[in-house]
Amino acid sequence: MAGVLNIHNFPLLHSVPGSRKTPMKSIPTIRATSETPTSSTSTSTSTSTSFTAPPNFEPPEPKRFAVRPDKTWDIIGASLALIFRLGTGVFVNGYSVSFVSKDAIPPDQYCLEVAGYKVKETSKLGPRPEKPIEIYEFEGCPFCRKVREIVAVLDLDVLFYPCPKNGPNFRPKVAQMGGKQQFPYMVDPNTGTAMYESDDIIKYLVQKYGDGSIPFTLSLGLLTTLTEGFAMIGRMGKGSSYTPSKLPPKPLELWAYEGSPFCKIVREVLVELELPHIFRSCARGSPKRQILFEKAGHFQAPYIEDPNTGVQMFESAEIVEYLKVTYASS
């Protein structure tokens, strides 16, 4: 049966043309990549430390849209960003949704079901980078949030190097590579391009991996920056300051997206513990939702894979506890 509702060019993602591409600073080699152990760019503390799952650890069963009581206010605070940012970071570029009959989508395909119909979601992706983009940033920074939002819109995979205040590893690395500790700082190992300045990074990414247009909600200059700042009010600086930790030899892998309050509280802890992680962005309309559905037999974000311990798990509250027990210095 044909869809009873079809929404094209989702209004929150209407865009304006990006400005002319500015010349980018090129660097010959970047050692901090997902193919190289993160210890090559960090202190030597990780080389003698082995990591295992906590004793008697059992991954929790995923519970869709459930909030653990002790995390209620964390989720409410993180949800304020959806209001201030009008949902930016929830949908992939060109997001389109339609309702179709149940038999129109096979059971081995990810989709939502509503009122007896299945929800078909699509998007329009640009060229895909061969290697993850590398971004040095931290959660409590409105300029960094702007870049994380375009990562969600473009459905990019990113290797994040967290740079919380007083972090001993990657803040100095940024100064070494670019000459100053300013964030966000982006490195594209696919082109050898490196740059500061959130607006320049956004322009570069939409021109290289999108359709060349900047989403309207990211094109408003000072108003964009102000609303990015307001979006973080509910988290009171979480994800900004370093918590002493043990640096693992391999980056963790996080399936998440910027617009999700459940993903937000996990990202905050990853940043505070200064844990590098490959971010598999999977906002609404992302084809990676199907990939995770096939991998784990279920789709829900966040989902974390830790190659250092072999742990794979859903559920944000339990992921936070796992990260603290495994990587925070005792």
Residue 12 has pLDDT above 80, yes or no: no
Task: Tell me the percentage of the chain whose pLDDT exceeds 70.
Answer: 85
Q: What are the pLDDT digits (tens) for 21-57?
A: 334 443 333 333 344 344 334 333 444 678 999 999 9
Measure the CA–CA gap between 180 and 171, rounded to whole angstroms: 9
Q: Cβ of 30: how many Cβ atoms within 10 Å? A: 17
Tell me the sheet residues that pair with 100: 118
> In Å, how far from its chain's centre is CA 77?
18
Q: What local confidence, expressed as pLDDT, does residue 330 receive?
A: 72
Q: What local confidence, expressed as pLDDT, does residue 45 receive?
A: 43
Q: Which residues contact 162 (CB under 8 A, 6 or more apart)?
A: 137, 138, 170, 270, 271, 272, 273, 274, 275, 276, 277
Measure the CA–CA gap between 322 and 53, rounded to whole angstroms: 8
Band (2; pLDDT cuts 50, 70, 90): very low
> Tokens 């798990």 correspond to what residue?
313
Q: What is the mean pLDDT of residues 203-218?
A: 97
261-272 and 72-84 are packed helices; what angle lies between their axes, rounded to 10 degrees? 110
Note whether 3 and 99 are within 8 A (CB): yes
- Of the CA atoms within 13 Å of residue 278, those in its CB half-sphere come to 18
Q: Cβ of 117: how many Cβ atoms within 10 Å? A: 20
Note whether 312 and 59 are within 8 A (CB): yes
H or E stretch at 17: strand 15-17
Q: What local confidence, expressed as pLDDT, does residue 42 receive?
A: 39
Q: What local confidence, expressed as pLDDT, does residue 48 receive?
A: 60
Higher local confidence (pLDDT), 12 or 237:
237
Q: What local confidence, expressed as pLDDT, does residue 9 receive?
A: 43
Q: What local confidence, expressed as pLDDT, does residue 1 receive?
A: 39
H or E stretch at 319: helix 316-327
Q: What local confidence, expressed as pLDDT, does residue 49 receive?
A: 77
pLDDT, the chain, mean: 88
